[in-house]
Amino acid sequence: MTITEILSQIKASSARKVVEQAIAKAKENESYNALLSLTEERALKRADQVDSGKITGKLAGVPFVVKDNYLAFGAPTTAASKLLENFEAPLQATAVEKLEAAGAICIGKANLDAFAHGGSTENSAFGPTKNAIDTTRVAGGSSGGSAVVTALDIVPFALGSDTGGSIRQPASYNGVVGIKPTYGAVSRFGVVAMASSTDSMGCFTTNIEDAELVTGIMSGRDKNDMTTLPDFFEIEADAKPNQKIGLVKDFMSDDVDPEVREKVNQYVDKLKAAGHTVEEVSLPMAEYALAIYYIIVPAELSSNLARYDGVRYGNRAKDVKTLAELYGRTRDEGFVTENKRRIMIGSFVLSSGFFDAYYQKAQKARTLLINEFNKLFTGYDALIGPTAPTPAFKLGENTADPIKMYLNDIMTVPASLAGIPAISVPAGTNGAGLPIGVQLMGPMQSDAKLMALAKSMEAA
């Protein structure tokens, strides 16, 4: 259901009824393991406050779900890790506060890869989330739970975080809209940090209009996040006519699933039929994006995750004799294997002797990638390609080989490294009924324009 439909339901019945229905539906669908907790008590209390007129706003009474790396009241914020299994947030993320100020009601917290490290939600310390369409397949990740609750129509929107594709890829795998805004458009304050230079907060919805509405509320300068950009997001009613769009041919090679390519080509045909021009373009640095990403992101996250030491908050290892043992055992027990892999790679690329050859080299290569994007955007309004090389893969299919797992992000990491907005929109299903997503990318701060374009294509 869309947000507009939910709002008219609230008007016809009550916020309490709508929130109760959403919670009941979440419980019926427990077997997907999409939610780590429900915030039932708090949600119902807020619903009553909407019905009594105490809480008002554009989203008054509309239920939503947060990825469990957003600090939010009503249940622990775990980041799907043992380390934070019982951690009750002392404050809420800015994005959550803004949505609550607009009257929205958080009903639960969605599963993710522990600390958002992964692309399938199989790295959750609390078990994988199952795909909304085929339960033998992965939900994608790391925001897998948020994508699945949206696809199952438990809530009209859910929040995710996207560091290298963690919103777009699960959106593609579950057939919903996934928005990675321009870096800095939405505050990161109160979200468990992964890679500070690419972490982007965004939403899952079933349609673009809802995504515009939610992004409009979440975005904006935040005094608590010094990397937020001055307010720029303004919903655009109509798509600019006669746009020039580049089809990234590096993402359309024979390695990409033929049915995925077919769906992209069909979307291209629709764009052309609507009067836009689509031309093949080349982004040669895309080939190196994943290598850049797997240096920069581990480096940043190894620093960000140094704070989880069992001293001031979180779970602490038992029966330790020294402080060093407390750190070492707490972290070994609290992190999943993928966390450890990434932390140790981060430590490696930042260590003396390797810093220039790895970390510095990657940051320079990142500049080359950004230069290529900038050059393309002088001639094109937007770029198009697949969101992921394949539809959702089988549970367990890639868990033994980290690099094989990472390769699923090959089309999403370039936009993350450049900070540009990128969205995944549903583009139909393959022969087996599995959803396929198309990715649209635009220059910095073109979020509203990209969404207007995608919106105009929904009806086409």
Partner 1 sequence: MTQITRDDVLHLAGLSNLQLTDSEIDGLTMDIGNILGYVEQLGELDTENTEPTYQVTGLSNVWRDDKEINYGVTREELLARSPEVVDFQVKVPKVL
| Residue 240 CB, nearest approach to partner 1 (Å) | 24
Min dist. Cβ of residue 422 to partner 1 (A): 13
CB 310 within 8 A of CB 327: yes
Q: In this structure, are residues 214 and 2 in contact, taking their beta carbons and an 8 Å threshold?
A: no
The verdict on 418 binding partner 1 (CB under 8 A) reads yes
The SS3 assignment for 417 reads helix
Rg (CA), the chain: 21
Q: Which of 67, 98, 130, 263 is catalytic?
A: 67
The catalytic residue among 120, 166, 200, 302 is 166
CB of 295 to partner 1, least distance (A): 5
Site string for partner 1, 198-217 (x = CB under 8 A): --------------------
Q: Are 33 and 111 in contact (CB under 8 A)?
A: yes
Known catalytic residue at 223: no
Quick one: which of 102, 295, 384, 438 contacts partner 1 (CB under 8 A)?
Answer: 295
3-state secondary structure of 293: helix
CA distance 74 to 266: 44
Find the shortest distance in angstroms from Cβ 94 to partner 1.
11
Query: Binding to partner 1 by residue 302, rule CB under 8 A?
Result: yes
Residue 424 is among the residues annotated as catalytic for this protein: no
Site for partner 1 in 218-257 (CB under 8 A): 223-224, 226-227, 229
Q: What's the rounded Cα separation, in Å, for the pair 152 and 148?
A: 6
25 is catalytic: no
Site string for partner 1, 161-200 (x = CB under 8 A): ----------------------xx------------x---
Contact 175, 151 (CB under 8 A): yes
If binding is defined by CB under 8 A, does position 73 make contact with partner 1?
Answer: no
Longest dimension (CA), the chain: 71
- CA-CA distance, 261 to 253, in Å (whole number)? 9
Residue 383 phi/psi, 5° resolution? -120, 150
Pairing relationship of beta strands 422-429 and 382-386 according to DSSP bridges: unpaired
Asked whether the beta carbons of 437 and 387 are under 8 A apart, the reply is yes
Residues identified as active-site? 67, 142, 166
Contact residues: partner 1, CB under 8 A: 87-88, 90-91, 183-184, 197, 223-224, 226-227, 229, 288, 290-292, 294-295, 302, 306, 309-316, 320-323, 325-329, 331-332, 335, 337, 340-341, 343-348, 351, 354, 358, 360-368, 370, 402-403, 406, 418-419, 444
